[in-house]
């Protein structure tokens, strides 16, 4: 294993983290246990297998070398010389509420001096189930990379081998003069793109109509909840109205927010929060496995529209408009600006950027890919899996969604003090799918 510099976006995630706003992804998997000791056996397996996965041995180390001015203030991803899997896999006492424990564990930042990931095994009090909460720092892995790392310590399964990425020649401190014309054209294009994104970001802050329920003063507390929906019902709505499955799932979030706000007495009139929809630019079979490759789309969720089909049409139109423009343009592509900031700028400006998230968007709604094949751990099948996204400073709620074996899993993460009624929002998601299905005549 060798070390490599963090990509600009990885470095941004590393530097915007604070004690109250840890920048780790999470996933809570619930397994069917074959015996009351299945959880303890799973913990032993995870620790034993982690030692053989190179990506799980990688730590992040800051770079302060004056002789490397282009990397000064950056960080490297490198093998940890004293990696101990038992420091990363923890077996907890039996519990009757996996989400209650997961929320408390999501509060805790990962230790930055060692490989930034953890696996928490939670035996169920019923003896017929156990859960595993995986945490990966966003600087170590994006959603797809985190999936690959987690799958590597599950039971072996037949998956297609990724195509090898052609080796790149080593880069020196100065560019090849033969490539300067192309580099100049590329730089000018990048500058134009950055200006376009910056202008779109400025426009996105105008006429904001959100809700106080979606913003909060940072408390550092976390609460999680999960919802399972039938994917067939989502497909019935999609076939009746058009668009994509993702359009329907986003519209379900908009409708659930409307129900939730009205039920808690905050009111949904005039509310159209800005949702950031991350878009992966990674090509799974060809892209380098390290580093985040993310852009995004920014849309206004039509929470104030009382018509469920109207909400879906609005979401579909907004997503189509974003797709026509592409992931390299618009306010949602703000993550791409990280490429234009030198390492020291990320280091010094990280705290400021972390506080600016609320100016750009009000809620994160992200999709995390999962394999269609059934996963197992110690022979115990994975029955449910809830993805969790990081919670940005000043924001009270983040939504992640995955489809797995014919079912849709929503994972909700909220500031525990700002959103003490997260279960009500979870219930509203289920009710909204029923409403959409009824509206389609299904």
Residue 95 CB contacts under 8 Å (≥ 6 apart), including other chains: 101, 122, 123, 124, 125
Neighbours of 78 (CB within 10 A): 16
* C-alpha to C-alpha distance for 28 and 213, rounded to whole angstroms: 25
The alpha carbon dihedral of 295, 415, 115, 112 has a sign of positive
Q: What per-residue confidence (pLDDT) applies to 429?
A: 97
Q: What's the Cα-to-Cα distance from 114 to each of 56, 72, 85, 201, rounded to whole Å?
A: 10, 21, 11, 36
CB 69 within 8 Å of CB 342 = no
Residue 319 CB contacts under 8 Å (≥ 6 apart), including other chains: 243, 244, 246, 247, 250, 277, 297, 299
Q: What per-residue confidence (pLDDT) applies to 127?
A: 92
Alpha helices in 306-375 (DSSP H): 308-325, 343-360
Q: What is the pLDDT along the chain (442 residues), one digit of tens a residue?
A: 567 778 777 888 888 888 888 999 999 999 999 999 999 999 999 999 999 999 999 999 887 655 555 555 678 888 998 899 999 999 999 999 999 999 999 999 999 889 999 999 999 999 999 999 999 998 888 888 888 899 999 998 754 444 444 444 443 434 444 544 543 444 434 444 444 444 444 455 545 556 777 877 778 899 999 999 999 999 999 999 999 999 999 999 999 999 999 999 888 888 899 998 988 766 554 444 456 666 788 899 999 999 999 999 999 999 999 888 876 655 454 454 444 455 545 454 555 555 556 667 889 999 987 877 789 999 999 999 999 999 888 889 999 999 999 999 999 999 999 999 999 999 999 999 999 999 998 5
Name the DSSP class of 113.
T
Q: What per-residue confidence (pLDDT) applies to 403?
A: 93
Q: Please compute Rg for the chain using Cα positions.
A: 22
> Torsions phi, psi of 67, nearest 5?
-80, -5
Token output for 313: 């049409």
* C-alpha to C-alpha distance for 254 and 231, rounded to whole angstroms: 18
* C-alpha to C-alpha distance for 401 and 417, rounded to whole angstroms: 23
Token output for 30: 């619930």
> Torsions phi, psi of 183, nearest 5?
-65, -40
Q: What per-residue confidence (pLDDT) applies to 267?
A: 85
Helix 422-439 crosses helix 308-325 at what angle (to 10 degrees)?
A: 90
Q: What per-residue confidence (pLDDT) applies to 1?
A: 54
* C-alpha to C-alpha distance for 56 and 118, rounded to whole angstroms: 10
* C-alpha to C-alpha distance for 40 and 37, rounded to whole angstroms: 5
Q: What per-residue confidence (pLDDT) applies to 68?
A: 53
Q: What per-residue confidence (pLDDT) applies to 228?
A: 97
Neighbours of 431 (CB within 10 A): 14
Q: What per-residue confidence (pLDDT) applies to 147?
A: 85
């Amino acid at each position: 294993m060798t070390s490599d510099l963090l990509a600009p976006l990885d470095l941004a995630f590393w530097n915007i983290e604070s004690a109250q706003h840890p920048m780790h992804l999470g996933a809570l998997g619930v397994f069917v246990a074959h015996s009351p000791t299945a959880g303890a056996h799973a913990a032993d397996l995870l620790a034993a297998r982690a030692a053989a996965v190179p990506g799980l041995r990688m730590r992040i180390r800051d770079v302060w070398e004056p002789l490397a001015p282009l990397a000064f203030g950056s960080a490297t991803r490198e093998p940890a010389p004293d990696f101990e899997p038992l420091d990363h896999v923890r077996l907890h006492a039996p519990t009757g509420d996996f989400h209650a424990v997961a929320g408390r564990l999501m509060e805790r930042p990962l230790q930055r001096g060692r490989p930034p990931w953890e696996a928490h095994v939670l035996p169920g009090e019923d003896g017929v189930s156990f859960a595993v909460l995986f945490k990966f720092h966003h600087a170590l892995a994006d959603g797809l990379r985190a999936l690959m790392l987690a799958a590597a310590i599950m039971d072996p399964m037949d998956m297609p081998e990724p195509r090898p990425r052609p080796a790149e020649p080593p880069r020196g401190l100065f560019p090849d003069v033969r490539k300067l014309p192309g580099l100049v054209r590329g730089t000018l294009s990048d500058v134009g793109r950055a200006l376009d994104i910056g202008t779109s970001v400025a426009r996105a802050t105008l006429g904001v109509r959100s809700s106080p329920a979606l913003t909060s003063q940072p408390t550092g507390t976390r609460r999680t909840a999960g919802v399972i929906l039938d994917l067939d019902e989502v497909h019935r709505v999609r076939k009746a109205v058009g668009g994509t499955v993702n359009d329907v799932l986003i519209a379900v979030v908009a409708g659930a927010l409307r129900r939730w706000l009205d039920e808690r007495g905050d009111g949904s009139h005039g509310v159209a929060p800005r949702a950031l929809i991350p878009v992966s630019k990674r090509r799974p079979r060809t892209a380098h496995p390290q580093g985040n490759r993310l852009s995004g789309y920014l849309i206004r969720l039509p929470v104030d529209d009382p018509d469920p089909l109207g909400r879906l049409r609005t979401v579909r139109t907004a997503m189509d408009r974003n797709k026509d423009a592409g992931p390299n343009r618009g306010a949602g592509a703000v993550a791409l600006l990280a490429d234009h900031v030198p390492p020291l700028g990320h280091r010094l400006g990280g705290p400021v950027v972390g506080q600016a998230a609320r100016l750009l968007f009000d809620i994160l709604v992200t999709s995390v890919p999962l394999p269609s094949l059934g996963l197992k751990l110690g022979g115990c099948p994975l029955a449910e899996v809830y993805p969790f996204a990081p919670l940005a400073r000043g924001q009270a709620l983040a939504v992640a969604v995955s489809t797995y074996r014919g079912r849709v899993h929503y994972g909700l993460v909220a500031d525990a003090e700002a959103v003490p009624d997260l279960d009500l929002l979870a219930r509203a998601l289920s009710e909204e799918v029923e409403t959409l299905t009824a509206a389609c005549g299904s």
